[in-house]
Structure 1
């Protein structure tokens, strides 16, 4: 199994069909194969060899699609950079992965000096935008024109396909290494549900393509054939217009995006009846948003995918029929066709149905490991079971319900925020003596990053001051959107902060333990 397999098949069977639609630019599958083979040749000429990491920092585009194919074609390893991170965080991921080549577009070219300064491993930048080529960078289209196509390395199987960086519970991001088998197992298993992707249909990429959620949809679309419709980034009107104009049948969105789409007045003028499947993840959808979405999208079926990057990323699916059962709307679904899922206690023993424990999953979708972090890999994957860090229970029919996050991860607007990372940034403010960061309910973001702070004696600070301080150290979406000041934090007998007590007053009236 290898990612480029689907490109060969599409170019053979539907050479003149649209592979990508990006604005006014339409490329066929035969054109796509030719451009991918030329980009792979260019990468090899730049010194990319077997297993070398090639990064990209860009908004969604048809060139991002070509990158995803060309790197494995050249026998390299994908390293998508998080576009929402600060230059320092991006540089860390490039340096950690050892990525010597970076593709960058117009939106992020201004960050190049800061990234280069903090990531000395980087020696080649390829500009994949449409504007002026930055100084010291190579032009994407010139590289394609200057190189003849090269044969596909057909990198595949258990060889690493890519490294996707996630927020770090210890304060620095971790690189999740996924193989070709991992990615294809998750995609094919999800497609086997029959409710994930319309065969031969059109998938809209509105969620960021650097994120594995969209990446998984990209792999699934290639597996079942069809066309990729791409918008640079999510806007309600842009998504509605793309669905109506290009005959989009499938889209992946996070619940926040769904809410914005169905509530936006300027999106209401577009006909969305062609949309067949809406896949969502990161958090369950509220009943109120689901009801509004069902009215706005009466011909669309909803599927929730639960998982994590380490699971490539799907573990369970809540299918359209499940959404029509009231009690199941709070569930995360049942084990996907490719996955085994169970709930275990601290000794990794499966607990009785209805008992809360840790959600674990096993199968061909479990990551190869964390990049250069064998100890953390061994802790996360035990006896083949990936420990998600999520607390939940399973009912008698195998439906999984998530009730808490063991790792204190906050999901805000579909983005993962790890509390330790925010706490480390907050602690660098001179007025902060101690702090804890938790997720609290938010009607717009699902969860909001909230700081509980003990000030140093005689010190003063405002919530906005602390927010602006953290934004100088980490990405803006991770910065606390609210804060409260207390005299002391609740501690356990072992001296650990009792975050459950901090959360209690915010979640006691919520309809679930986490949003």
Structure 2
């Protein structure tokens, strides 16, 4: 599609400049103000010697300054690299260096990092405002081409060293396609709780900005505060990861709050159990859209529609699926060791082909070659199958599969069962060493507050509901599970102590 991200701010500034674009850090920025501020940022970047193809970095929580930089960079053809602020200082500095960013906009909360970052560092607050004010609000007028890279997002690192995923104007055209489908328009109020360094944050925000609505930027995730924000801001649309959705439903009194403005909640980025879905439907009484995708596919490529969320109904089993691909997305299930396509119902690796696929990783030709196969097919690294109706059922990350004896166990199947136990608040299933079977299934369980749960109770519950080879052989208890910023459980961290010193690892 002949689409340009930079046109979002230019078009809305002309057509609806006085309308609110962003609310965050206690202030609201209109589309006209965003256009002006991004033009000043563009001039500042030009003055620093940047131009088409240059990288700039942003290290900070969700705030309007991110969009000053993103649109300012786009107005000169530069690329914004959004960096995970939850990493260690050394890791953040390494990513900024990897991007080759000559300028970094740094959240004032992390000002202590400035001395460790290469290039020019602009700290938000007074320094950032002075940086903008020193330059005229003249739009340089760069338009560029559909395939020009606009944003560079770094993978979470759960499968290795973070890699810069390059996303183009064409990749982000999904926002134009999906705004109406996600019930976003100029009157919407869209909540952006996912971090902007994640595709679920920046991609979702760009879809809302394309629609011309107001984005409510969430700086810190607090389930009780999110419930208050839904009600106070009259939120109409939101994208929330399953873990946060689950925690919001557990906030005392959450089911009795006023969510009447809601048009829909999108969820995705990590597996969800049927029990969490059931409770979310009861709590919010609003349409739920499940979306599946990854950074390398510019977010959502598969969607489960609200009408398919039918717990207890004849199509209730679909709530365990990710949905069906969009019309412009091709899926196939292939042998993990090759390209051969598998029949409906057979588990294999999910491959995807669409205009949303990244062109590759920044300066990583070998990794790019492993990601993008023949014919434009992208290897997701996720295991699953397609049913006869074309619904995608994800079984797990291929690396998380447990091989016990000659049987494959996909952790999500076990987690689905255990999550329905009334005393379990959260659960992860991993493979641990076993002398007899190679690997054994272990459950790591977070009990609900006030519940005195024992290992034997959990094992007995599983025995009644799972095939023998899928049952956990042991249970550990934890206060919480480690998660990355997108809400995915860091199973590599959970597995590590058990495999340490054995000369091999899982994942």
**Where does residue 310 of structure 1 map in the other structure?**
296
- 1:364-412 CA-partner distances (Å, limit 9, x unpaired): 10101011111221221112011101111101110011113124499xx
> Is 1:394 aligned with 2:386?
yes
> Is 1:289 aligned with 2:276?
yes
1:250 is matched with which residue: 237, 244, 254? Answer: 237
Instruction: In structure 1, list runs of 5 or more residues that go unmatched.
Output: 117-121, 134-138, 411-437, 455-462, 465-470, 490-494, 500-515
CA distance in 1, matches of 2:129, 2:208: 26
Q: Residue 262 of structure 1: CA displacement?
A: 1.4
Q: Secondary structure at the match of 2:95?
A: helix
CA distance in 1, matches of 2:263, 2:190: 10
Instruction: In structure 2, list runs of 5 or more residues that go unmatched.
Output: 403-410, 436-475, 478-483
Q: Secondary structure at the match of 1:125?
A: strand
68-77 or 194-203: which moved more? Answer: 194-203
Q: Secondary structure at the match of 2:191?
A: strand
1:174 is matched with which residue: 145, 155, 163? Answer: 163
1:479–1:38 CA distance, 2 compared to 1 (3 A) = same
**Where does residue 187 of structure 1 map in the other structure?**
175
Q: Residue 125 of structure 1: CA displacement?
A: 0.3
1:176–1:449 CA distance, 2 compared to 1 (3 A) = farther
**Where does residue 454 of structure 2 map in the other structure?**
none
1:266–1:482 CA distance, 2 compared to 1 (3 A) = farther
2:325 is matched with which residue: 320, 324, 335? Answer: 335
Q: Secondary structure at the match of 2:385?
A: strand
103-112 or 31-40: which moved more? Answer: 103-112
1:61–1:453 CA distance, 2 compared to 1 (3 A) = farther
Does the 8 Å CA contact 1:450/1:481 hold for their aligned counterparts? no
**Where does residue 278 of structure 1 map in the other structure?**
265
343-352 or 47-56: which moved more? Answer: 343-352
Does the 8 Å CA contact 1:449/1:480 hold for their aligned counterparts? no
59-68 or 202-211: which moved more? Answer: 59-68
1:316–1:41 CA distance, 2 compared to 1 (3 A) = same
Does the 8 Å CA contact 1:358/1:392 hold for their aligned counterparts? yes
Alignment: residue pair count: 433
CA RMSD of aligned residues (A): 3.1
**Where does residue 414 of structure 1 map in the other structure?**
none
- 1:68-119 CA-partner distances (Å, limit 9, x unpaired): 2222113210100012211121122111111121111122112333x33xxx
**Where does residue 112 of structure 2 map in the other structure?**
110
Structure with more contact order per residue of length (Cα contacts < 8 Å, sep ≥ 6): 1
Does the 8 Å CA contact 1:22/1:62 hold for their aligned counterparts? yes
1:449–1:101 CA distance, 2 compared to 1 (3 A) = farther
CA distance in 1, matches of 2:284, 2:277: 10
1:67 is matched with which residue: 46, 54, 69? Answer: 69
Does the 8 Å CA contact 1:315/1:341 hold for their aligned counterparts? no
Does the 8 Å CA contact 2:322/2:394 hold for their aligned counterparts? yes
Does the 8 Å CA contact 2:432/2:499 hold for their aligned counterparts? no
2:352 is matched with which residue: 345, 361, 364? Answer: 361
CA distance in 2, matches of 1:270, 1:145: 43
- 1:401-424 CA-partner distances (Å, limit 9, x unpaired): 1113124499xxxxxxxxxxxxxx
**Where does residue 470 of structure 2 map in the other structure?**
none
> Is 1:205 aligned with 2:174?
no
42-51 or 352-361: which moved more? Answer: 42-51
CA distance in 1, matches of 2:198, 2:429: 20
Q: Residue 445 of structure 1: CA displacement?
A: 5.7
Does the 8 Å CA contact 1:318/1:331 hold for their aligned counterparts? yes
1:270–1:390 CA distance, 2 compared to 1 (3 A) = same
**Where does residue 467 of structure 2 map in the other structure?**
none
Q: Residue 67 of structure 1: CA displacement?
A: 2.3
Structure 1 residue ranges, 4+ long, deviating more than 6 angstroms after superposition: 448-454, 476-479
**Where does residue 51 of structure 1 map in the other structure?**
53
Q: Residue 318 of structure 1: CA displacement?
A: 0.9
CA distance in 1, matches of 2:31, 2:193: 21
Q: Secondary structure at the match of 1:108?
A: helix
Q: How does 1:418-429 map to 2 (within 5 A)?
A: none
Q: Residue 486 of structure 1: CA displacement?
A: 7.1
Does the 8 Å CA contact 1:284/1:332 hold for their aligned counterparts? no
Q: Secondary structure at the match of 2:53?
A: coil
Q: Residue 237 of structure 1: CA displacement?
A: 2.5
